[in-house]
Amino acid sequence: MSEVKSYFIVLKYSYLELIKSKILVQMIIMGIAFVSVIYVATEFSYGVPHRMASDFGLGLISLSCVGISIFLGVTLISKEMENRTVYIVLSRPLSRTSFIFGKISGMALILLCNVLVIGSLALSYCHLLGGEVGKVMLLALLFTFIESILVLSVTILFSLLVNSVLAVIGSITLFIVGHVLTDTMNFIELRISHFPHLIVEAISYLLPNYSKINFRDYVYYDQLIPSSYIFNAFIYGITYIAFILILISIIFRNKNLD
């Protein structure tokens, strides 16, 4: 059995297993909750209800994707080890790399479904309220998906190194820190001195800087996004994900599963 075929088999069964966990039902419930909250919120807004709809929608998509990435991602491998199914699967002619990447890709498909389901509701509702569904909104959805894959990768990396509780805490902490790094650097540079700014900037290169791939403010304030910023954000997100995936592959290949 080729590595590529093995990878797609693991991907398929991982996706089907996650579907059976009723994750799609949760997506629909979140979609209904989104419509309900936006309806109430727009009744008390004046002038720009579509902007509120897009802001709430993107926020809900991001939170739901982060929740799925962390709380399902942390058990993605550990559950297989606890149920001892990983030993059966890896006893076949299947490399550990194909197994781990197949599992991650199956989860990534679930995250994509989540973005598409809730994103479609957000775009539709925004359009009904008189808003324009433009390039900025679509880019925000794309980078929300990239953000969720980065969160998933970080969570799985933690789950291979520490127990589930610490993995969840670490992933949530990095997510929060990653969203305030840029603002923190700007604040320190303006209010304090240059040296602390350099320290925070050095940390931002080591930790995932989620603020670099956050386009939601551009949507809310209806601002155009420079092409260079889009390109740099995309390269940053993909490169960081690739780096984390390489670490995951190395650690899992050398991990003692006994």
Range with lowest mean pLDDT among 48-52, 205-209, 216-220 = 48-52
Question: What total of structural domains would you count in the chain?
Answer: 1
Domain that residue 205 falls in: 3-254
pLDDT at 233 over 80: yes
Residue type, 181: L
pLDDT digits (tens, 9 = 90+) for 115-126: 888 888 777 777
Confidence of residue 104 (pLDDT cuts 50, 70, 90): very high
What is the overall mean pLDDT for the chain? 80
**What does the alpha-carbon distance between residue 164 and residue 181 come to, in Å, rounded to a whole number?**
26
pLDDT digits (tens, 9 = 90+) for 67-84: 889 988 888 887 777 777
157 within 8 A of 76, measured Cβ to Cβ: no
18-43: buried (b, 16+ CB within 10 Å) or exposed (e) per residue?
Answer: beeeebeeebeebbeebbeebeeebe
pLDDT digits (tens, 9 = 90+) for 165-206: 999 999 999 998 888 776 666 555 555 556 665 676 667 678
62-80: buried (b, 16+ CB within 10 Å) or exposed (e) per residue?
Answer: bebbbbbbbebbbbbbbeb
